[in-house]
Structure 1
Amino acid sequence: MISSNLIPLDALSRLPMAEIASLPAEELARLQKEADAALRQAKLILACLDGALTQKYADRAKAARADVQKDFGVARFQDGAVTVVADLSKKVEWNQGKLAGLVDRIKSEGEDPHEYVEITYRVAERNYTSWPLNLRSLFQPARTVRPGKESFELIVDGEGV
């Protein structure tokens, strides 16, 4: 039997945050579980819909871009009374090894590579933590640690791992 005191998931967006925060932990756990399930379902539905739209319109969008000699970007066309706006973004990836070679070449020719490329340095945290202390101490002044977004999972006793 479902208690009439249970807050429906769709009512949460209309409640003040303080009121939600004051709910019992068991109720928050139930709402979190329902919200996670609803999100998974919504993502599944969205993936199905996106797949159907791609199947239906990808060829027309490609043809519309070809008409204006574009491989990427926005294509607009009509399907009855509906304007379809298909946006194909461009994802460019650069080969880091080849770029490093080009930077060296630009330097050797007396040019400043910073005029042509942005150079970013990264250190994998897993690598950093496995280094010897003397090496880590060299890098420490260049390292800043900020907290990420904290998350909470509520598990009702006896229901979870």
Structure 2
Amino acid sequence: MNDITILPADLVRLLQTDLTRLDATRLQELVLGLDYQAALIKKAKAQVDTALIKRYAMQAQAALAATGRDFGTAHIADGAVAIKAELPKKVRWDQAKLAEIARRITASGDRVEDFIDVKLSVPESKYTAWPPALREQFAPARTVEAGKPTFTLTVMED
């Protein structure tokens, strides 16, 4: 198997057991090759996406405007090709202003949760810097789980 080039299309057909049997050097080569190809594909996809925006965005916006909308799905045609254009709405909220509004809601006696989705979190760097007494108060609300492992393979020089 070491003398044969394994292409990404072949990799998806290989069994996990076949991949785990490869020697570490071959696995490292595969990782580097896939990372390189993924970067190329990402760049190529970005270029094609930019071309699609330049070619169809104005037509899609006009199609939406014709129906009185700024966002949503528009269907346009380019010759024999039907194009479904998704122009999503992206909303951002000013966190400082929302915090002030939340304080006013609380001050008026209402429940903030009735109006705003609130998710509380504690940055791990702050938690670990706290004195033990403060950490103990928060410990019952804290769950630690393992993340997805990553591995970096490097060929060692002799």
TM-score by length of structure 2 reads: 0.90
Encode CA deviations 1:37-56: one digit per residue, 9 max, x unaligned.
11011001101101111111
Aligned to 1:83: 82
Give how far 1:4 is off.
7.0
Q: Distance in 1 between matches of 2:37 and 2:133?
A: 50
Give how far 1:138 is off.
1.5
Aligned to 1:99: 98
* Structure 1 letter corresponding to 2:4: L
* Structure 2 letter corresponding to 1:76: H
Higher mean C-alpha displacement, 88-97 vs 33-42: 88-97
Q: Distance in 1 between matches of 2:2 and 2:21?
A: 18
Q: Distance in 1 between matches of 2:152 and 2:96?
A: 42
Aligned to 1:25: 24
Aligned to 1:8: 6
- Structure 2 portions without partners, runs of 5+: none
Contact 2:73 2:84 in 1 (8 A): yes
Task: Supply the RMSD in Å over aligned alpha carbons.
Answer: 1.9
TM-score by length of structure 1 reads: 0.88
Contact 1:65 1:72 in 2 (8 A): yes
Higher mean C-alpha displacement, 54-63 vs 90-99: 90-99
Encode CA deviations 1:18-51: one digit per residue, 9 max, x unaligned.
1111111111111111111110110011011011
Number of matched residues?
157
Q: Distance in 2 between matches of 1:79 and 1:102?
A: 48
Q: Distance in 1 between matches of 2:151 and 2:113?
A: 43
